[in-house]
């Protein structure tokens, strides 16, 4: 079982503010790092799949960075909106096909 | 393009019973994986099927079994249910070979309660 940790477990942010949170994963046998957004009563939806050290990906106001040597990824939300309220899951894929998920960071954006 | 659908959405069973959960993968996807999410935890990998064959398994006992059909839909079967099997079961499909880095497309899950 690979240890994938996300912090914080939850956070509250005021509408319009920016925020970020962390995913830590093993630094060996890296293959890919996934980020998913999971809104209540919906299915998890892919945000990013990152494969290269130093990768930076962006989708609208959400972006992510990747450091495979030290085993962490940051997800950033710029100018948070109520629709950004969700649980954000990261998942690590080693040199096999299995995805190991973190427990998620639950973001609540207050209007 | 039809998304991933799972059935049933909710079900209640008693200890010792058996359950079958179903998943229709997204059009064009030949790989299906199943995950168990217990309360407060991230999804845990159960197993994966690629072109009708299991090609990977997580740390789950043999009473968790599955099938993938020629149309790439899939079933998860759990025998001799235990209270700890109560969880949300997620199915995800993806395109291409098992080792691809591509994103997963998830269903909304089946919520199983074991009494």
Strand A19-24 to strand A105-110: parallel, antiparallel, or no bridges (unpaired)?
A: unpaired
The pLDDT tens digits for A54-74 are 999 999 999 999 999 999 999
Which residues on B lie below 8 Å from A102 (Cβ)? 42
Smallest Cα distance from A59 to chain B, Å: 15
Among chain B residues, the shortest Cα distance to A35 is held by: B103
Which residues on A lie below 8 Å from B106 (Cβ)? 36, 43-45
Smallest Cα distance from B61 to chain A, Å: 15
| Backbone phi, psi, residue A84, to 5° | -80, -10
DSSP β-bridge partners for residue A34: A49, A91
Show the CA angle centred on residue B108, arms to residues A12 and B111, nearest 5°: 95
Which residues on B lie below 8 Å from A64 (Cβ)? none
Q: What is the mean predicted confidence (pLDDT) over A29-58?
A: 95
Of A42, A45, A97, Cβ closest to residue B56: A97
- Specify the pLDDT at position A40: 92
Token readout for B14 is 């008693």
Which residues on A lie below 8 Å from B58 (Cβ)? 98
The answer for residues whose C-beta is within 8 angstroms of residue B89's C-beta and 6 or more apart is B6, B21, B34, B35, B36, B37, B46, B76, B109, B110, B111, B112
Residue A39 confidence (pLDDT) above 90? yes
Gyration radius (Cα) of chain B, Å = 13
- Comparing B18-27, B68-77, B81-90, B93-102, which segment has the lowest mean pLDDT? B93-102
Interface-testing mutation among A97, A100, A101, A104, with chain B (most B C-beta atoms within 10 A): A97
Residue A78 confidence (pLDDT) above 90? yes
Which residues on A lie below 8 Å from B25 (Cβ)? none
DSSP A79: S
- Specify the pLDDT at position A61: 97
The pLDDT tens digits for B17-60 are 999 999 999 888 889 999 999 998 999 999 999 989 998 899 99
DSSP β-bridge partners for residue A110: A14
Residue A33 confidence (pLDDT) above 90? yes
Of A49, A98, A104, Cβ closest to residue B56: A98
Model confidence band, residue B97 (pLDDT cutoffs 50, 70, 90): low
- Specify the pLDDT at position B1: 53
């Amino acid at each position: 079982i690979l240890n994938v940790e996300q912090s914080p477990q939850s956070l509250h942010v005021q509408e319009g503010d920016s925020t970020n949170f962390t995913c830590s994963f093993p630094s060996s046998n890296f293959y890919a790092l996934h980020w998913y957004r999971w809104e209540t009563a919906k299915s998890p939806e892919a945000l990013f799949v990152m494969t290269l050290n130093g990768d930076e990906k962006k989708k609208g106001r959400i972006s992510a960075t990747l450091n495979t040597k030290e085993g962490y990824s940051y997800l950033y939300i710029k100018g948070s909106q109520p629709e950004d309220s969700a649980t954000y899951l990261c998942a690590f894929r080693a040199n096999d096909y299995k995805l190991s998920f973190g427990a998620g960071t639950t973001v609540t954006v207050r209007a | 393009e039809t998304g991933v659908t799972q059935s049933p959405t909710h079900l209640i069973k008693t200890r010792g019973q058996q359950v079958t959960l179903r998943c229709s993968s997204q059009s064009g996807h030949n790989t299906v994986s199943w995950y168990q999410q217990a309360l407060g935890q991230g999804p845990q990998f159960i197993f994966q099927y690629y072109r009708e064959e299991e090609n990977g398994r997580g740390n789950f006992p043999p009473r968790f079994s599955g099938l993938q059909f020629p149309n790439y839909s899939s079933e998860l079967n759990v025998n001799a249910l235990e209270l700890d099997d109560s969880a949300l079961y997620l199915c995800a499909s993806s395109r291409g070979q098992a080792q691809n880095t591509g994103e997963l497309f998830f269903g909304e899950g089946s919520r199983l309660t074991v009494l």
